[in-house]
Structures are given as structure tokens and as C-alpha cells.
Structure 1
Amino acid sequence: MTDPLAPVLAALGRSGRPSSDFDLNPETILPEGRKLRQAGVLVAFDSSGPEPVLYLTQRSSNLRNHPGQIAFPGGKVDPGDGDPIHAALREAHEEIGLDRANVEVLGTFEPHETVTAFQVTPVLARIKSPFTPVPEPGEVAEVFTVPLSHISDPANFRVESRQWRGTRRRYFVVPYGPYYIWGATARILRSLADRMAP
């Protein structure tokens, strides 16, 4: 029987390269000696149903950073974490109630640099058995799933732009139903789609 996440495992076996929020804006000049804070996000798939799905969150509109945006569970590496994998697992437990014992880490992608000076490591994982998400009050407004088939198809991605700090900034989007998935989340998913392509 074929593993439903075989395309994801194949993507992890292919070489990739670091990505950033500046990929589509080559004219951006980044300051030398900039210090990036380490972070980890959990790209967690549930393959127990008829089709694998990816878990995403909508951040609370009350948050100071990225209010209302679609994001992976995750956050910055705290002193007790040790590495981005542990940070992603800890944050997923805090944000959506996903027990780390219910997670099989499959591997990581190259880090993604954000405009907010984070170096984010995507941690790809399988949720071992179905669970009921419990959004963390005050931080997560909603937890939802997106079919793997949607975010693995490059045709579902497009490039949009907006004014940001006096310049026109371009970025990927991959909308799904009422959810506007953009920015770093969409860029990481685009890296996955590119590496899953045969």
C-alpha cells in the first residue's frame, strides 16, 4: 500500500535551497551583519482520511505581530528548546493542542528568512492519529485544514504585491476558500510544491 505522504517524503529527499520573503524582490538590499532570530514551524499533515490534509491556523486579530494572518503552528526558539524542531513541536502543542507524542517528524526544509528578521525552519511531520484541535485563546482564532492536493499544485499559486515601507513588495499567495494564505506561509508551501513536482 502506497504511503499517502509519499510525495512529501520524496520532496524531502530532493535538494532545495533557502528561501526568503525577498525572493520576488531582488532589488531589496538587506543590511550586512543583520541578526536573525531562530524559529520553527510545524508543517503537519494528517493522512488518516481519504486525502492528506495540512493543518494551518488563523492568528488572532488582537496580536501585535501578523494579526489575522494564516500561519503554521510554530514560533521562535526559546532557550529550553534546543533547536527549531523542538520549538515547532512545543508551539504546536501550545497553539493547537497537538501532543508531540502524536507527531512523527519526517524532516526539515532549508530555512526561510522573513521580513521580521526570523530564520524559520519548516519542520515537516505526520500526525499519527486524528486529534481535535484546541486553539490557544488570545493567539489562535481558528484552526483549519487544506488538502495536500491544493497546496502541492503550483497552478494554485500566484504573485501579488502591495506597498510596504515605501516600496512595492511582491509575494506568493495560495488562497483556499475563505482563507487568504500569503507571505512566508505561502512561500514555504511554494517550496514544497516545487520540490513535489515530478
Structure 2
Amino acid sequence: MTFLTNKKQDLTEVLRQSLEPVPKAVSPALELTGAIRGDHDLNPATAPNHALPFVPAAVLVPIVLRRDGPTVILTRRATHLSKHAGQISFPGGRADEGDENAVATALRESQEEISLAPNLVEVIGSLTTYITVTQYSVTPVVGLVEPKFDLRPEVGEVSEIFEVPLDFLLDQANRKKHSGFRNGVERFWYAIPFGEYYIWGATAGMIKDLSERIMQK
């Protein structure tokens, strides 16, 4: 029995009930007591500095409605990038001045990075805002995608596009807490190994958020 087939409701309904409304603003106001997640969840010393501005950003969590089970589109970042080279991530990036809200940012970036047409995505909600140690305020926008696309990576940013079964990502047994040392300080992060892919950091943290929301339903 798979992770989702235990649910009495249809997958789409479970997701809709589990998610937050998409914020109307590009960068929602952040309170110290607000509901945020981030790199600091496992590393309290890296708590976000609310005295400094946050860079607004958004990613798309694209759930593909395939007949043999839903999957999630992920990307491997290009290896020549100066930041996060070769890492696994959702399509997305920082907000542009012309973006009306987080949805606009996520859909625009997804079209630019992997050629996913916005009209193929039904946005159904969002996850908790995720704060990175680099002061990015990331809104994870969740969308349902019909498998009628022809994806192509933007070579300047993406080296590979692949899909992972949603069941696999949501199963907490596949999520581990890893650690390592940087500048003599031990750091912790969540990781979800999948074949040759090592899904970790902010991406794994967002998947953990989605998993916990669905498990509560």
C-alpha cells in the first residue's frame, strides 16, 4: 500500500485541504513569531536576521498527475553556477519587480528554467515560507500539472530535469537528518536520497513540510 492510498479523499482534495492560501504579495510580511521554516530549524545559530531585508523569491512544487501515480518535477542546477551548483531544487527564483505575487514568480521562473507553460499548471495553494541563511524569503507554490508538457532545461541554469514519485518523497522513512562541518561548526540538514540524486537543504525541508501537512489529514 502506498503512502497516499491510505487517504479516503482524492489526492487533489487532500492537497487542497493541507495547503495555505497563496500570499497576495510577492513577499509576505515576516514576524518573529510568524509561521516560517528555514535553515535555522536544525541550526538555531543561523536564525534569520529580521533587522535586514529579505530577498523575495518563490519556487513551484509541480505535482504531475500521471496515471500510474503522481510525481514531482525537480531540477539539477547547472554545475557552472557560482551558487548551489549541481544541487537539486524546485524550479523557481527571486521575484522580479513586475511579478504581481509569488504565483507569478513561480510560474515565470518555471517557464524560463524548464519551459513549463503556465497554462498547464493549476495552482492550489502554498507551503510555509522558507527562510535561507542568505536572507531569501521563499514561497513554495504548489501546482497540479497535466502531463502534456515538453520540458527543456535552460542550459544557463539547469543541467537536468527529472521526476520523483510523490509517494517516495512524502514517506518520512526516506527522509534522513544528515550533518557535516563548515568552518569548524557542525551543521545539520534534511536529505532524501533517490537513486543518483541527493535531495537536501531547502528543497528537502519544503518536502518535509508537505509530508507533515498530508499526514495530518
1:147 and 2:154 correspond: no
Q: Partner residue of 1:58?
A: 76
C-alpha distance in structure 1 between counterparts of 2:210 and 2:58, whole Å: 16
C-alpha distance in structure 2 between counterparts of 1:20 and 1:131, whole Å: 31
C-alpha distance in structure 2 between counterparts of 1:172 and 1:46, whole Å: 24
Q: Partner residue of 2:14?
A: 7
For these two proteins, the number of residue pairs brought into alignment is 197
1:82 and 2:100 correspond: yes
SS in 2 for 1:181: strand
Displacement of 1:155 in angstroms is: 1.3
* Percent identity of paired positions between Structure 1 and Structure 2: 39
Displacement of 1:49 in angstroms is: 2.4
Aligned residues of 1:4 and 1:51 also touching (Cα < 8 A): no
State how 1:12-27 maps to structure 2 within 5 Å: 12=19, 17-27=35-45
Q: Partner residue of 1:102?
A: 120
Displacement of 1:7 in angstroms is: 3.3
Aligned residues of 1:161 and 1:171 also touching (Cα < 8 A): yes
C-alpha distance in structure 2 between counterparts of 1:153 and 1:162, whole Å: 24
Displacement of 1:175 in angstroms is: 1.0
TM-score, with length taken from structure 2: 0.85
Q: Partner residue of 1:157?
A: 175
TM-score, with length taken from structure 1: 0.92
Runs of 4 or more consecutive aligned structure 1 residues displaced over 6 Å after TM superposition: none
Displacement of 1:165 in angstroms is: 4.2
SS in 1 for 2:189: strand
Cα root mean square deviation, aligned: 2.0
Aligned residues of 2:92 and 2:106 also touching (Cα < 8 A): yes
Gaps of 5+ in 1: none
Gaps of 5+ in 2: 1-8, 22-33
C-alpha distance in structure 1 between counterparts of 2:213 and 2:15, whole Å: 8
C-alpha distance in structure 2 between counterparts of 1:13 and 1:33, whole Å: 26
C-alpha distance in structure 1 between counterparts of 2:35 and 2:170, whole Å: 18
Question: Relative to structure 1, is the Cα distance of residues 45 and 167 closer, same or farther in structure 2, using a 3 angstrom cutoff?
Answer: same
Q: Deviations over 1:146-175 (max 9, x none)?
A: 101011111111101112344211010011
C-alpha distance in structure 1 between counterparts of 2:116 and 2:214, whole Å: 26
C-alpha distance in structure 1 between counterparts of 2:67 and 2:159, whole Å: 24
Q: Deviations over 1:11-58 (max 9, x none)?
A: 2169x9321011011244544502210000000111132100000000
Question: Relative to structure 1, is the Cα distance of residues 155 and 17 closer, same or farther in structure 2, using a 3 angstrom cutoff?
Answer: farther
C-alpha distance in structure 2 between counterparts of 1:31 and 1:102, whole Å: 37
1:192 and 2:210 correspond: yes
